[in-house]
């Protein structure tokens, strides 16, 4: 039951993050393009792209957790969520405000993404073993 609750939470966060990513991308394209420098616009665009890519991974993790139990996989989702907040959130905020503090936060988000990917990689063996066992039982 716990893994279904985790999966539901991750899928919900993923859906909200996808909505925010598309909204912020549209906001940038229509409202910010003429107001930001080319560099800051590119930073904002990078932030929305990274958010969307990691949102898709969150949705995949949420779906996987409906079928497998993996602490590493669940932890990878936490690091991806942290990465979205710290990397994408700080980069978007910095692009708009030019407050240097936010630019200093961004690398911690990048590090969170990397840890998430390492944990995702380490969970592959567990996922394959469990899904193989499921297939054998059918």
Long-range contacts, stretch 90-98, CB < 8 angstroms, 24+ apart: 91/43, 91/44, 91/46, 91/47, 92/24, 92/44, 92/47, 92/48, 94/40, 94/43, 95/32, 95/36, 95/40, 95/41, 95/43, 95/44, 95/47, 96/32, 96/36, 96/40, 96/44, 98/40
Q: What predicted TM-score, i.e. pTM, was given to this entire model? A: 0.91
For residue 137, count CB atoms less than 10 angstroms from its CB and return exposed for 0-12, middle for 13-18, buried for 19 or more: exposed
Task: Encode pLDDT of 107-123 as tens digits.
Answer: 999 999 999 999 999 99
Number of domains forming the structure of the chain: 1
State pLDDT tens for residues 10-67. 999 999 999 999 999 999 999 998 899 999 999 999 999 999 999 999 999 999 999 8
Cβ burial 57-78 (10 Å sphere, 16+ → b, else e): bbbebbebbeebebebbbbbbb
Domain encompassing residue 117:
2-137
**pLDDT of amino acid 38:** 94
CA 69 to chain centre: 20
């Amino acid at each position: 039951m716990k893994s279904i609750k985790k999966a539901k939470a991750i899928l919900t966060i993923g859906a909200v993050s996808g909505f925010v990513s598309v909204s912020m991308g549209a906001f940038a394209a229509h409202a910010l393009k003429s107001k930001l420098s080319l560099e800051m616009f590119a930073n904002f665009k990078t932030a929305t792209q990274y958010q969307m890519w990691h949102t898709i991974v969150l949705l995949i993790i949420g779906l996987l957790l409906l079928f497998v139990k993996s602490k590493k996989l669940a932890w990878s989702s936490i690091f991806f969520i942290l990465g979205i907040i710290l990397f994408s959130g700080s980069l978007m905020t910095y692009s708009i405000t030019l407050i240097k503090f936010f630019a200093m936060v961004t690398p911690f988000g990048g590090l969170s993404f990397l840890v998430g990917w390492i944990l995702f990689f380490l969970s592959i063996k567990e996922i394959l073993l469990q899904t193989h066992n499921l297939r054998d039982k059918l």
